[in-house]
Amino acid sequence: MAVIRILPAILSETREDLIEKISQVEGLVDRVQVDIVGRAFSPQPSVGIETLEGVGSGLLLDVQLMVREPVTFLNRCDSIGVERVFGHVEYMQNQEEFIEHAFALGMQVGLALDLLTPVSRIEKVIEQIDALLLMAVPAGKSGQKFDPAVLPKIGEAANFGLDIPICVDGGITPSTIVSCIEAGAREFAVGSYLWQSSDIGKALGELQEVGQ
């Protein structure tokens, strides 16, 4: 089919769980995505961004900011070495400010859309970003079932013809990834399917194999 990238997605409530999950995929992937979830998106928030300080992993680090005014988190992301940052637009007052600030700090920048947020919300700035993340479940909680409502959004974003990756997050398995690839997605943030597997390396291989 296409060359795809699998990003282990980590949503942790404790530093210990975060470190354990990172250690489980070191040597298997080159990049992970850590989800920072505030109360705007979930009554049970994740660890804070400061928890990533001193983790000491050699993996490239993406952070998905499911918080109010993600621009206020960018300096902290930069200080802990985040390479690519996704900000959710639902509680973002100024998309241009977020993009420009992230670029000024030297990070790659992406915007993230919750399941029910239309692609039209970012139409004016989509040419300025490095990547787009589309949720296939309601943001803020792991272990949810894939919602095919994301598929037309993938197609709509792909139709812009931009050379940026479209990443899908939520409910990704070998069976759900196929339709996402066909719609135009090339990156996948995968949580529960990996963490609930008895063999993470094998689970990663199964996902990659589907995309070949």
Span 17-38, pLDDT tens digits: 999 999 999 999 999 999 999 8
Q: Across residues 47-75, what is the average pLDDT? A: 91
Q: Across residues 125-144, what is the average pLDDT? A: 93
Provide the pLDDT for residue 102: 98
Examine the pLDDT at 1 and tell me if it is beyond 70.
no
Write out pLDDT tens, residues 111-121: 999 999 999 99
Q: Where are the domains of the chain?
A: 5-210
For residue 181, which of 203, 143, 154, 160 has the smallest C-alpha distance?
A: 154
- Burial (CB < 10 A; 0-12, 13-18, 19+), residue 202, is exposed
Q: What is the dihedral of CA 174, 115, 129, 9, to 10 degrees?
A: -50
Provide the pLDDT for residue 40: 83
Rounded CA-CA distance 13/66 in Å is: 14
Rounded CA-CA distance 33/108 in Å is: 13
Q: How many CB atoms lie within 10 A of CB 145?
A: 10
Q: Across residues 52-65, what is the average pLDDT? A: 88
Identify the CATH assignment for 5-210 out of 3.40.50.10090, 3.20.20.70, 3.40.190.10, 3.40.50.9100: 3.20.20.70
